[in-house]
Amino acid sequence: MKYLLKIWAANSKQMQRLIPVIPVILYHGKETWKVRRFRDYFEGIDEVFFRFIPEFEYLLTDLSFYSNEEIKDKVFRRVSLQITMLLMRNIYNDKILGDKLKAFFEIGKQYFEEGEGLKFLESVIRYLYYASDIEEERVIDTLKEISEEGGRLSMTIAARLIEKGKIAGRMEGRAEGERKGRMEGLIEAIEIGLELKYGVEGLRLLKRIGKIAAIEKLESIKEAVKISKNLEEIEKLL
C-alpha cells in the first residue's frame, strides 16, 4: 500500500496526472500464499465499515510453483528476446552497434557458457557476421571480454565462414566473382533473423526465399525482417 501512495504522491508533487499502478507480489515463502482482500486484515469490524476501506487486486507470482529449470528457462527467454531486439534495432548502424555491442552481450553473460545459451549465441554471431559490416575481430574481442566460450565460438564461426568465402563475399559487395557467396550470406542472415524473431514458424518461408535470385530483393527481405511486425509483411515481398 505504501508503494502505491509514494508513486501517487510523486505524481501529485510533480503536477502530473495520477497514473494507474498494478501491484505485483513476488512470493518465495515456504507456505502456500493465501489470497486475502485488504479488508480481511481488519479483524472484528462491522461490515458497515467495509465501504470505507480501500479495495484493490494484485498480480501474484508464487515461485514455489516453478522448478529451478523453469525459472531459468523463463528468464533466458526474456534475456534472449531483449538481445535479439536490440541487435535488430541497431543492425544497420555500425557505429551504435560497435559502441553498444559489449553492453548488449553483457545482458546474457551468465548464459553464454553452456547449453541453450551457446546455441542462441551462435545464431547471434552468425547474424552479426552476415547482416552487419562490423569487423569480425571486433565481435571476437568483445565476446572474449564477456565469455571465454563465446570468444572461442565467434572465432570458430568466423574461420568457417571465411573458408566458405561468405564473409569475403559480404565485404566485396556485389563483385560478380563473389555473387554466390553474397547471396548465400543474405539468405542465411534472413534465416537467422526469421528464427530469432519468429521462431520455427518463421522458417516456413525459407523454401520460397531460397528460390530468389535477385540480390536486391534479398536485401529488401533482410531489412524487412528487422522492421516487420508479423510474418505476413514479409510474405508480401516474396
Whether residue 194 contacts residue 202, with contact meaning beta carbons closer than 8 Å, is answered with: yes
Q: List the beta strands (DSSP E) in 111-175.
A: none
- Helix, strand, or coil (residue 25): strand
- CB burial string 50-75: b at 16+ within 10 A, e below: eeeeeeeeeeeeeeeeeeeeeeeeee
- Helix, strand, or coil (residue 198): helix
Task: Report CA 209 to chain centroid distance, whole Å.
Answer: 24
Measured distance CA(159)–CA(169) in Å, rounded: 14
User: In 3D, which of 200, 198, 184 has the Cα closest to residue 232?
Assistant: 198
pLDDT of residue 168: 52
pLDDT of residue 91: 78
Q: Which residues, in sequence order, are bridge partners of residue 61?
A: 26
Whether residue 33 contacts residue 60, with contact meaning beta carbons closer than 8 Å, is answered with: yes
**pTM here?**
0.49
- Helix, strand, or coil (residue 61): strand
Task: Report CA 28 to chain centroid distance, whole Å.
Answer: 27
- pLDDT, one tens digit for every residue, the chain (238 residues): 787 888 888 888 888 888 888 887 777 777 777 888 888 888 888 989 988 988 888 877 777 777 767 766 777 777 888 888 888 778 777 788 888 888 888 888 877 777 778 888 888 888 887 777 778 788 888 888 888 787 888 888 777 766 655 555 555 544 554 567 677 778 877 887 887 788 878 888 888 888 888 888 888 888 888 788 888 888 888 8
Whether residue 125 contacts residue 139, with contact meaning beta carbons closer than 8 Å, is answered with: yes
pLDDT of residue 94: 78
Measured distance CA(143)–CA(62) in Å, rounded: 35
